[in-house]
Chain A
Amino acid sequence: MKLKNLTKEMRKLWDDAHDFDPNDPMVGLTGKDLSGPKLSRRTTLRLLAAGGTLTAAHLVPGFSTMAHAEGAAGGTLNCGWAGVAEIQTLDPAKIGQVLQFQITSNVLSGLMHIDASLVAQGDLAENWTVSDDGLEYTFKLREGVTFHNGDPFNADDVMYTFERSSNPDISIHSKNLANVEKLEKLGDYEVKFTLKQPQASFLTKTLERASGRAMTIVSKGALEQMGDAQYGLTPVGTGPFKVTEHVLGQGVVLEKFADYYDPERPKLDKITIKPIDGVEPIAAALEAGDIQYIGGNPLAAQLIDRFKSNPDLVVDIKPAPGFQSVWMNPWREPMKVTDFDKPMDELMKDKGFMVRLALAKALDRDTYVKQAHFGYAVPGYGTINPAMAFYYDEGIADKSLQAFDPDGARELLAAAGFPGGKGFPELELITTPAQKRNGLVLANIYKQVLGITIKVVPKEFSVGIQDFNNCEYDMRLGGSGGDYDPDDGVVDWMKTTSKFNGRTRDTEKYAFGYFSNAEADKLIDEQSVTADLEKRKALVQEANQITSDRVACGFLYHPVDVQVRHKSVNFPAESRIPGLHDFDRVTLG
């Protein structure tokens, strides 16, 4: 963040945003400040600062978090959803893929919705109050809202959604509600959540309509009438668009919901979303004008330059929140490490660790990005990614022990007993079929730098993830997406008890999954409840550094979020949330 470019005015705003007591879990805001119906600019900036996502752009005069849609209404937008053959379900309780909630974000509402700054604003919640201890959230629901089928929306629907989502037999997101002690209906348009522990991310992660699938409001009437299976195809919600058609393998048709509670939205009449698997077909469709917008899975990197050079297309690239790594099983020779807690100098003498570090140091990330992603990725050294703005350590490339160092890698390998790669066993690198190319590039890099042979084994995701969770693999290429908050990175991945860390392994054979470090655990737990920006940043970066230096895995890259659309599609900046495709303010022409 280049502070030197701010003017004095912006500097004042910046300082005020960061002006709060480090020990204050409410960051200097009162329950009243956090309550609805709208968060003030000052509150918004403070929240942004506390979340570490405050950027210079937010301080520019005229910035508003509640923008209005511009442009002429009407028209049909044809979209292609990349890299997928069929959009299997749109039932919030069962959604597991980003490409699915990109669609439901337009069809179903949550109590809140994040805006482009990732701050939660009220959606079906008109107003809300938060108790000063942060445990009670009382929501005043918006009146006069109807579902697509005409049913009126009220507190009963919130209760029903909560019941449904808490049931692990129906919903795969039931764990997201684990922190809710109870939900009470206080009136036809009033509900109250009582939490077990204060949770800063409650408004955002649990209640908003995109990633907070747990409380995405579903229609009881529709579910009872059409059943789960049909509801998964044509969900009925309260969003700006309704699903009028959904044929598996052919696509989804969305149409403007005339009775949406905001009369100014949506602008478009109709949206068609076709899943288009295959690189050439989607490029052909866009260039021929069959579609004007691409969403879904990340676009094949080789198309980006092609689209950029097309004057009719607009290509918008932002850092994407996520990371990908080369995971190395610490229970397999020759990279075996059973104790990551040893002091660093002792660890460095451990042969298994020497191999791990060698494998990490050998990662020529620049060449990898160039060959595997045609330059469209950012070398990574930890789970904390550039989209996390303030928390991202821009100097980590120089500080990490994992930085590319071919000589150092070779020395380590030799010291571990495999000079020039001689005698090194052939290891298997699991990738998904789509990432096979990336795996081949890696194998080649290892061959060049260390002289070892890595065999690329593409496996369907369902098979590969099993091996990974059971700790029965040598190496695996994989990672995470949708990581906006440091918690998404370090809590979900780098703790001994992280949900991805050897979840289904034989705990007798393997004491931990892929990594376990007591100090990192401590730091991660601490940062999770620290509101002070600077302090949290320090904790996060320290934890991140540990995971990097102690080779929790060979961190490889951070992906980028690429939006490609025809120039006739007006996509306001406020709708541009990396990872989502919200069409409610989009116009054509």
Chain B
Amino acid sequence: MAPVASYMLRRLIGSIIVMWAVATLVFFMLRLVPGDPVAAMLADAGGPDEIEAMKRSLGLDRSVFVQYVIWFQNMLQGDLGSSIYGSRAAVTDVLTQAIPRTLSLSLLAFVIALVIALPAGILSATRRNSATDTTVSLLAFLGLSMPDFWLAILLIIVFAANLQWLPAIGYVPLAEGVWPWFSHLILPAIAIGTAFSAIIARMIRSSLLEVLKSDYMRTARAKGLTPWMLMFGHALPNAMIPVITVIGIAFALLISGAVVVENVFAIKGLGRVLIEGILNRDYPVVQGAVLVVSAIFVFSNLIVDLLYGVIDPRIRLN
């Protein structure tokens, strides 16, 4: 097997193991959490008998290990169980609805962040130590330092409550129209994407500065290429390599930012599902959400690693 392929295979298997380990750890730790969900659901109407009956019907009366085995078996068949709350919706249904929301939000945040970060980083690097550079740097620092939920609140106050240009909360699927979908997501995307954007911008700046100093660039300049070609043909592509790793790492920011911001904007994405699941002791939902979130992470890291490995041969053979 070619080195690249075997490397990919190793990483893939490693990723799956990591995901399984995370899900298992969470499964058992969750049972430690105080608070009996069944008692809460029956708060008004049930005595000890009703509680037992409900536990039976939800499968919560068996031992933890048995529950785990059952859960694992079902999961392999694509059945993640049902929420033990309210409408007992299937966890897969809950997640299927939640995932596109978080993904829409994160991708939009990602795009906005890049749209801001790229020109900012390039400008900053090329006009090093000028007024532009200082301003951009300062703005980047500000963006990094602002708590995402604070920015979210401020955005709501200004754009939704006062100016009333945009809706304050909620989510509309893309299928119902581009503008409704976009208008509901733009504010939270900005809230999440700002910190991310700042990190990328600074990384682009420092990486670009390194590349611009290098021998490689000296050679390219000697060839007499135009500034545009130098930048976009040579400097930037090389500068982006370390940036890609940072993007992979900073992606964590997007998802954990989503957790809090989804809360502020009442968008029922993965973050919200996870938090509510934890607070409601809704075990199956938390299991499923943890599985999905860790899958997203692990595989996005995998992709970044593979990209890096493909681009930079030195790393591959580590």
Contact assessment for B169 and A281 in the assembled complex, using a CB-CB cutoff below 8 Å: yes
| Cα A465 to Cα B45 with chains together (Å) | 13
> Which of the candidate stretches A47-55, A83-91, A129-137, A334-342 sits at the interface with the other chain?
A83-91
Tell me how far the C-beta of A389 lies from the nearest C-beta in chain B, rounded to whole angstroms: 24
Taken residue by residue from 22 to 55, chain B's Cβ proximity to chain A (1 for < 8 Å, 0 otherwise) reads as 0000000000001111011111111111110110
Q: Are B160 and A284 in contact (CB under 8 A)?
A: yes
Residue B8 at the chain A interface, CB threshold 8 Å: no
Provide the bound-state CA to CA distance between A168 and B50, in Å.
6
Q: Mark B2-32, 1 if CB is under 8 A from A, else 0.
A: 0000000000000000000000000000000
Q: Mark B277-311, 1 if CB is under 8 A from A, else 0.
A: 00111000000000000000000000000000000
Docked pose: A503 CA to B94 CA in angstroms: 33
B266 is an interface residue with CB less than 8 A from chain A: yes
Query: Are the C-beta atoms of B171 and A96 separated by less than 8 Å?
Result: no
Complex Cα spacing A172 to B36, Å: 16
B281 lies within 8 A of A462 (CB)? yes
Q: Which of A246-254, A360-368, A544-552 contacts B (4 or more CB under 8 A)?
A: A246-254
Could you say which of A169, A228, A250 contacts B170, with CB atoms under 8 Å apart?
Answer: A250
Complex interface residues of chain A between 196 and 229 (CB less than 8 A to chain B): 228-229
Whether B49 lies near A248 (C-beta < 8 A) is: no
| Contact (A463, B35) CB under 8 Å given A250-B171, A280-B161 | yes
What does the 1/0 interface line of A154-194 toward B look like (CB < 8 Å)?
A: 00000000000000110011110000000000000000000
**Cβ of B207 < 8 Å from any Cβ of A?**
no
Question: Is there an interface contact between B169 and A276, defined as CB atoms closer than 8 Å?
Answer: yes
Q: How far is the CA of A94 from the CA of B53 in the complex (A)?
A: 14
Question: Is A232 positioned at the interface, with any CB of B under 8 Å from its CB?
Answer: yes
Chain A nearest Cβ from B236, distance in angstroms:
41
The answer on a CB contact under 8 Å between B54 and A169 is yes
Q: Which residues of B contact A504 (CB under 8 A)?
A: 39, 48, 51
Q: Which residues of B contact A233 (CB under 8 A)?
A: 87, 89
* Cβ–Cβ contact A229 & B82, under 8 A: yes
> Looking across the interface, which residue of chain B has its beta carbon closest to that of A174?
B50
Kindly name the residue among B35, B164, B167, B281 whose own CB sees the greatest number of chain A CB atoms within 10 A.
B35
**Whose C-beta in chain A lies nearest to the C-beta of B265?**
A281
Using A250-B170, A274-B170, A276-B266 as known contacts, say yes or no to A173 and B45 having CB atoms under 8 A apart: yes
Q: Which residues 93-143 of A sit at the B interface, judged by CB distance below 8 A?
A: 94, 96
Proximity bits, A279-293, B CB within 8 Å = 1, else 0: 011001100101000
For chain B, the count of residues having a C-beta within 8 Å of the partner chain is 49
Assess whether B88 is interfacial by the CB under 8 Å rule. yes
Tell me the complex Cα distance, A465–B280, Å.
13
Give which listed residue, A86, A94, A466, contacts B268 with CB less than 8 A: A86
User: In the complex, what's the smallest C-beta–C-beta distance from B253 to chain A, in angstroms?
Assistant: 24
| CB <8 Å contact, A232 and B86 | yes
A541 to B97, CA, bound (A): 53
Residue contact B268 to A96, C-beta cutoff 8 Å: no
| Cα A86 to Cα B161 with chains together (Å) | 23
Nearest-neighbour CB distance to chain B for A545, whole angstroms, equals: 26
Cα A126 to Cα B88 in complex, Å, equals 35
> Does residue B218 face the partner (Cβ distance < 8 Å to A)?
no
How far, in whole Å, are A276 and B43 apart by their CA atoms in the complex? 24
Task: Give the docked Cα–Cα distance between A277 and B171 (Å).
Answer: 13
Which of A281, A284, A462, A499 has the most chain B CB atoms closer than 10 A to its own CB?
A: A462
Query: Hey, which chain A residues are within 8 Å of B54, CB to CB?
Result: 169, 172
Rounded to whole Å, the gap between the CB of A399 and the closest CB of chain B is: 31
Q: In the bound complex, how far is the Cα of B267 from the Cα of A248, in angstroms?
A: 11
Say yes or no for A278: interface residue by CB 8 A criterion: yes
Judged by a CB distance under 8 angstroms, whether B261 is at the interface is no
Ranked nearest first, the 7 interchain pairs of A and B with the lowest CB-CB distance are A88-B86, A462-B40, A249-B268, A232-B87, A89-B87, A463-B35, A281-B169
Can you list 6 A-B pairs, Cβ within 8 angstroms, ordered by A?
A: A88-B86, A89-B86, A96-B45, A169-B54, A229-B88, A284-B161
**Other than the known A96-B42, A280-B161, A462-B280, what 9 A-B pairs have Cβ atoms closer than 8 Å?**
A86-B86, A173-B45, A174-B50, A175-B47, A232-B89, A249-B272, A462-B40, A462-B43, A465-B39
